[in-house]
Amino acid sequence: MAEVATVKTPRHVAIIMDGNGRWAKKRLLPRSAGHSAGMNRMIGLAERAKKLGIRYLTVYALSTENLARPKDELDGLYSLIKKYFLKNVDALIGGGAALRVAGNLSLLPEDVRQVVNQGVARSPKDAEFTFCIALAYGSRREIADACSAAVSDGAAITEQEISSRLYTAGMPDPDLIIRTGGEKRLSNFLLWQAAYAELYFSDVLFPDFTDECLDMAIADYSGRVRRFGKL
């Protein structure tokens, strides 16, 4: 049975899924095994988030900076993305979730782009749960592109005009950003949208970040006081 969302349930949670490579290394496995375990966990966490009444889950799966990694690692990641989109993400959509993508998809191979776009096209309009995947994503570029678009539309450069031209247009800003894997940085993720996000850093490597780990992060969030600069 779905658990009921409380006032303290974050509406939008974003996760920087880091630590797949180290997880594999610890087990003397190739990095691709870490990415595969990570994809599995990503789907598990999406299901958990939906059950908890979180409305939006955004996951950072591939940064523009990651595109400079060796070709064999990227090829492995692309085939995993295709596999998980065709099966698990499709099942999420079948269960009523909407899929969104944040990122510069033109930087991805055509077959990956097609699979991802098909999922977006198949998504229901008024879903209670939106799964947003950041692929070939870079936040500075996103902001610069939004400003350029505003200029060519003849719009004023206001916060609203910029927000409405980001990949995440129409989504609320993240309430909580979780980073797994021990690093304490944003790595070019949601820099604009994170203005008032609560940050949660976990040393757990992403493939080991269980549903209970997510619950703990949410519990931690629930205990925080968000002042938004007021008294």
- Number of Cβ atoms within 10 Å of the Cβ of 157: 10
Residues in the chain, total? 231
202 forms part of the interface with Mg ion (CB under 5 A): no
Among ligand IPE, Mg ion, none, what binds residue 62 when CB lies within 5 to 8 Å by partner kind? ligand IPE
18 forms part of the interface with Mg ion (CB under 5 A): yes
Stretch binding Mg ion (CB under 5 A), from 11-19, 34-42, 43-51, 221-229:
11-19
Catalytic residue list: 18, 66
Stretch binding ligand IPE (CB under 6 A), from 42-50, 62-70, 122-130, 160-168:
62-70
If the CB atoms of residues 66 and 88 are measured against ligand IPE, the closer one turns out to be 66
d(CA 98, CA 65): 27
Place of tokens 């591939």: 62
Least gap, CB of 16 to Mg ion (angstroms): 9
60 forms part of the interface with ligand IPE (CB under 6 A): yes
Q: Are 57 and 131 in contact (CB under 8 A)?
A: yes
Binds ligand IPE by CB under 6 A, chosen from 52, 54, 61, 177:
61
CA distances from 37 to 20, 41, 67, 118, 150 (A): 8, 6, 20, 24, 40
Least gap, CB of 14 to Mg ion (angstroms): 16
If the CB atoms of residues 29 and 195 are measured against Mg ion, the closer one turns out to be 29
Footprint (CB under 6 A) of ligand IPE, residues 162-181: 181
Strands of the chain, DSSP E: 12-16, 56-60, 98-102, 130-134, 176-179, 198-201
- Number of Cβ atoms within 10 Å of the Cβ of 139: 23
d(CA 148, CA 164): 13
x/- mask, ligand IPE, residues 82-121, rule CB under 6 A, reads ----------------------------------------
Is residue 189 packed enough to be buried (19+ CB in 10 Å), middle (13-18) or exposed (0-12)? buried
23 forms part of the interface with Mg ion (CB under 5 A): no
If the CB atoms of residues 18 and 47 are measured against Mg ion, the closer one turns out to be 18
183 forms part of the interface with ligand IPE (CB under 6 A): yes
d(CA 150, CA 220): 38
Residues of this chain that interact with Mg ion (CB under 5 A) are 18
Residues of this chain that interact with ligand IPE (CB under 6 A) are 16-22, 60-63, 66, 77, 181, 183, 185, 187
